[in-house]
Amino acid sequence: MGTIGEAVRRRRSGLRAGVAGRILDFALIAIIAAFLILLGTKVVAQGGSFFVQILTFAVANGGIYALIALGYTMVYGIIELINFAHGDVFAFGAFLSGSLLPIFGLREGGAFTPVSAVALLAVFALTMLACAFLNISIERIAYRPLRHAPRLAPLITAVGVSFFLEGALFLWKGPSNVHYPNILPNAGFELFGATIGVKDLLVIGISLILMFALGLFVQRSRLGKAMRATAQDRDAALLMGIDIDRTIAATFFIGAILAGAGGTMYGLYYNTSVFDLGFSAGLVAFTAAVFGGIGNIYGAAIGGMVIGMIRTFWDGYFDSAWTDVMIFTILILVLIFRPTGLLGMRVPEK
C-alpha cells in the first residue's frame, strides 16, 4: 500500500533525523537544563525539608497519574484510539468509591482497624470492577461498531462518551466540589524534617504494586501475549487464532481497573472530587502517556511519574495558576522535539 508515500515519508524522516534532528535534540536538552537550573536554585533557597515534603507529594501524585496514563497508552497501543472517556472512568471511580465507603462502614473520624482495612480493600475491588464493566460497555457500544469506520468517527464518539459520563456525574453530584470521606489515619513519621503520612505510603505502595502486576501480566500471561500481538499487527494476530474482540475488551477492562484504583486513591489522598475531574486529570495523564511514548506501558508508567512530579514541583515552587499551561506546553514541546516520546515505538501511519 502506498509505496511512493512510504518512500516520501522515509526520506522526510531521514532528513529530520539529520541536521534538523540534532538541532532539535540540543534545543530540547537546553530547555530541560534551563528548567532544572531554575528549579535547583529555588530548591536550595527553600531548604531541604520542604524539598522532601514536595518530593513525597510528587511521587504519590505521579503514581496516580501513571495509573491513568497506562489506560490511555494500552488502548492507544491496541486500537490507536484516544479513549477520551478514560479520564471520566477515573472520575467515576473516585465518585463511586466515595459513595461506597459509608456503606462499608468507613466513616470520617472513625478508628482505622484491621476490619476497616478489609472493608477498604472491598471498596477498592468493587470500584475497580465497576469501572472495568463501564469501560468494556463503552467499548462495546461506542467503539466496536466503528472499528472500520474512518478514524474521525470513533474519535467523535469517544468525545461524546466522555461528555456523557461527565454529564452523568454532573447530574449525580452537581457542579460543586464533592467531599470525599477522610478515613485514613493522619499518622505519619518524620524524615529529614518532612512528614510522610500513611496516605502517601498507601498511594505510592498500591500504585507500584499495580504497575508491577500489570508489567508481569503483559509479559508473562497468555492474554498479555495476545494483547501485544494484537497491538503489533491485528490482522496477523487474527490469522494466528487470537480472538481480537476479546483481547481488545480485555485491554479496556484492565485499563479501567487501573483507573478505578487510581480514582479511589485520588479520593483517599485529596478528599475531594468534582464532576469534571476526569477532564483535567485525563489531559494530564494523556500528556504523560505521550511523554513516555504512547503505546508503551513502561513509557506511560515513567511518563506518569515524571509529569506528576513536574506538576507537583511546579505547584510547590512556582505559581500554581500556570501549572496546566506548563503541562500543555510540555505536550507541545514533546510533540515538536520527540513525537515518539521517551521510550516510544514508531507508530505506523495507517
Partner 1 sequence: MLRQFWERGPRRDPNTIAYVVLLVAAIFFPILVNVITGGNSSSIMTVAADAGVYVLLAIGLNVVVGFAGLLDLGYAAFFAIGAYTYAFLASDHMRVTPLGEPIHVSFWIVLVIAMFVAASFGVILGAPTLRLRGDYLAIVTLGFGEIVPRVFRNAAGWTSGVNGISALDIPSLPLWLQGPWSGDPFAVVPDFKIISSIGYYAIMVILVIICVILVRNLQRSRLGRAWMAVREDEVAAAAMGVNTVAVKLLAFSIGAAFSGFAGTYYAGKLSLVSPENFGFSVSITILVMVVLGGMGNIPGVITGALLVYYVIFVLLQQLPEFAVNFVTSIGLGGLVKSSGDYPGIAEFISRLKFLVFGLILVIVMLVRPQGLLPSRQREQELQKGVKEDTVIEDVNAETT
Helices (H) and strands (E) in the chain, counts: 13, 4
Q: Write down the least CB distance from residue 201 to partner 1, Å.
A: 32
24 binds partner 1, rule: CB under 8 A: no
Q: Select the residue interacting with partner 1 from 20, 36, 38, 141 (CB under 8 A).
A: 141
14 binds partner 1, rule: CB under 8 A: no
Give the C-alpha separation, 237 to 76, whole Å: 17
Give the C-alpha separation, 230 to 236, whole Å: 8
Q: Write down the least CB distance from residue 128 to partner 1, Å.
A: 23
The residues near 82 (Cβ < 8 Å, ≥ 6 apart) are 72, 76, 155, 158, 286
CB–CB of 281/68 below 8 Å? Answer: yes
- If you ran DSSP here, which 8-state letter would residue 295 be given? T
142 binds partner 1, rule: CB under 8 A: yes
176 binds partner 1, rule: CB under 8 A: no
Which residues in the 329-348 window bind partner 1 by CB under 8 A? 331-332, 335-336, 339, 347
173 binds partner 1, rule: CB under 8 A: yes
Q: Positive or negative, the Cα torsion across 53, 57, 60, 63?
A: negative
182 binds partner 1, rule: CB under 8 A: no
CB–CB of 252/135 below 8 Å? Answer: yes
DSSP 264-287: HHHHHHHSEE-TTHHHHHHHHHHH
Query: What is the three-class DSSP state of 313?
Result: helix
11 binds partner 1, rule: CB under 8 A: no
135 binds partner 1, rule: CB under 8 A: no
Neighbours of 99 (CB within 10 A): 15
In the complex with partner 1, which residue's Cβ is closer, 80 or 228?
80
Q: Select the residue interacting with partner 1 from 28, 42, 50, 80 (CB under 8 A).
A: 80
Q: Select the residue interacting with partner 1 from 79, 106, 165, 265 (CB under 8 A).
A: 165
318 binds partner 1, rule: CB under 8 A: no
Give the C-alpha separation, 216 to 72, whole Å: 19
Q: Write down the least CB distance from residue 349 to partner 1, Å.
A: 6
103 binds partner 1, rule: CB under 8 A: no
108 binds partner 1, rule: CB under 8 A: no
In 204-234, which positions are buried (b, 16+ CB within 10 angstroms) versus exposed (e)?
A: bebbeebbeebeeebeeeebbebbbbbbeeb
In the complex with partner 1, which residue's Cβ is closer, 199 or 234?
234
Give the number of residues in contact with partner 1, rule: CB under 8 A: 65
Q: What is the chain's percent helix, strand, coil content, to nearest 5? A: 75, 5, 20
Q: Write down the least CB distance from residue 268 to partner 1, Å.
A: 21
In the complex with partner 1, which residue's Cβ is closer, 222 or 349?
349
118 binds partner 1, rule: CB under 8 A: no
Q: Which stretch binds partner 1 (CB under 8 A): 153-161, 219-227, 247-255, 305-313?
A: 153-161
Phi-psi map region of 19: left, alpha, beta (phi>0 left; psi -120 to 50 alpha): alpha
Neighbours of 236 (CB within 10 A): 11
225 binds partner 1, rule: CB under 8 A: no
163 binds partner 1, rule: CB under 8 A: yes
172 binds partner 1, rule: CB under 8 A: yes
Q: Where along the sequence are the contacts to partner 1 (CB under 8 A)?
A: 1-2, 4-6, 8-9, 80-82, 141-142, 145-157, 159-168, 170-175, 234-235, 238, 244, 279-280, 283, 286-287, 290, 319, 321-322, 324-325, 327-328, 331-332, 335-336, 339, 347, 349
